[in-house]
Amino acid sequence: MLRDKRTNYQKSELLESSILGNPIEQLKQWLDHAIEENVPEPTAMVLSTIDSNGFPDSRVVLLKEINAEGLVFFTNYNSKKGKQISGNNHVSINIFWPTTERQIRIKGIVEKIPEADSEDYFKSRPIESQLGAWASPQSQIIEGREVLVENYKLYQKQFENQTISKPLHWGGFLISPVSFEFWQGRENRLHDRLEFILSDQQWIMHRLAP
């Protein structure tokens, strides 16, 4: 029975005395630990946007950079999430690492990163991924998988023996956080939850009841 499936978390704890004062640095620390622990897809995060009807819309994207301003991911600007962000640049992120019994929730404001930065990242991608960015009309209705295969072959031939340029409709987004919540699973469902709220350019921390 689903109601009988539960885990008693007991791997670690999260105390005010041990957490870093800057939540972006705390995110980096936890991510480094997840990578060290060989967590599957440690950079995967659930990105939630708001559609034109006011509904949350969620999907998994990959975190590609953390800097002093926030979190960076890349996508097709003409995709559903790209269009939703252009209409409402308020988003949320959820990261869950079951093997370390940790979860991070983030709310933030999104903006495109400079085109030059998107160009630099695109050049670092495998050729197959570069071609995929051209081949896929992301989020559009297509007649079948063969459309993608044929598009891929078309661009493979077009860019044969030459540098693959970045599509203008593809690039990075920066999420500038306004709140973080760090969740550490604990025994008896008495989980640790420490929340950071950005106020007047300062991070204010609170403990939340589980």
Is 2's pLDDT higher than 90? no
What residues form DSSP beta bridges with 171? 75
* pLDDT above 90: residue 74: yes
| pLDDT over 90 (residue 63) | yes
List the catalytic residues. Answer: 189
Among 80, 110, 94, 92, CA closest to 172: 110
Task: Say which residue the tokens 């950071």 belong to.
Answer: 196
Residue-range domains of the chain with CATH: 6-124+170-207 (2.30.110.10)
Please give the pLDDT value at position 59: 98
With H, G, I as helix, E, B as strand and everything else as coil, classify residue 201: coil
What integer is the mean pLDDT of 14-18?
Answer: 97
pLDDT at residue 5 tops 90: no
Q: Say if residue 170's pLDDT is above 90.
A: yes
> What are the φ/ψ torsions at residue 4 (nearest 5 degrees)?
-95, -5
pLDDT of residue 8: 87
**Looking at residue 181, what is its pLDDT?**
98
**Mean pLDDT across the stretch 119-138?**
96
Which ranges constitute the DSSP H helices of the chain? Answer: 23-36, 80-87, 115-124, 127-135, 145-158
The mean per-residue pLDDT over the stretch 180-194 comes to 97
Residue 164 pLDDT > 90, yes or no?
A: yes
pLDDT tens per residue across span 88-127: 999 999 999 999 999 999 999 999 999 999 999 999 999 9
Give the whole-number percent of the chain exceeding pLDDT 70: 100
Residue 189, sorted as left (phi over 0), alpha (psi -120 to 50) or beta, turns out to be: left
Q: What is the pLDDT confidence band of residue 3, given thresholds at 50, 70 and 90? A: confident
Model pLDDT, residue 128? 96
- The answer, yes or no, to whether residue 10 has pLDDT greater than 90, is no
Q: Would you say residue 200 has pLDDT above 90? A: yes
- Amino acid residing at 157: K
